[in-house]
Copies of this chain bind each other. A is one copy, B any other.
Amino acid sequence: MVRGRPREEGIDDAVREAVRALLAETGYQRCTIDAVAARAGVGKAAVYRRWRSKAELVFTAVIHAADLAPPEDTGSLRGDVAAVLGVIESSLDGPELRRALPSLLADVRADPVLEARFGEVFLGRERGYLVQMLDRAVERGELSRRPDPALVHAMLLGPVLTWLHLFPEPPPSGGLAASLASPVYAAVVALGA
């Protein structure tokens, strides 16, 4: 088992690289599982074994893995909010993703099984980490109670997603996460007051 691991990791990296190249060159529609396997030089079976759908393959290659790392504990809610906004901004930024995201979401929306799996694997994982962040803030006495994690999730993810994927202008100089850190922190404090 140990011997096989580097090869397996090599496949993941090659596939991720192939997805990014195909999105940039041909767009989402033509970035099929078959095309990705050919470009990565791996068997189609190896790709199908790892990802249940094209949408999931693209999501994990360009946004974040299903086993997303937990956000760092910076020692304060203000710091934690800024750190999470930075992770969200770097996950959602980039011209390939900007072009691909609406089509990816259309695929997810068209398939209830895929939609349920996305809610569970990606949004559910993110939500779980926000609960940890909020519980730390309650323990530190920074919030008097844990606010609804879904509202906190919407306040953190929504402004970044909307600016990067809907607005025509580039982010403010200094970065979007830095510009949003104070207002989003104020919003989270208001939710947990």
Contact = CB atoms under 8 A, between A and B. Distances in A.
Given A102-B106, A106-B103, A155-B159, A169 B186 contact: no
A150 B123 contact: no
- The count of identical subunits is 2
Interface stretch (A4-12, A130-138, A177-185): A177-185
A146 B158 CA distance: 22
B109 A98 contact: yes
Interface residues of A, number: 45
Nearest to A118: B168
A113 interface: no
B179 A187 contact: no
Task: State the majority secondary structure of interface residues on A.
Answer: helix
Contact of A102 (B105, B148, B155, B189): B105
B105 A168 contact: no
A185 to B, nearest CB: 8
A94 to B, nearest CB: 13
B179 A190 contact: no
A161 interface: yes
A119 B102 CA distance: 16
Nearest to A183: B187
Interface in A10-53: none
Interface in A107-150: 108-110, 115-116, 119, 123, 148, 150
A172 interface: yes
Contacts of A153: 162, 167
Contacts of A180: 151, 154-155
B102 A183 contact: no
B154 A159 contact: yes
A168 B115 contact: yes
Given A109-B102, A123-B166, A183-B191, A172 B151 contact: yes
A81 to B, nearest CB: 11
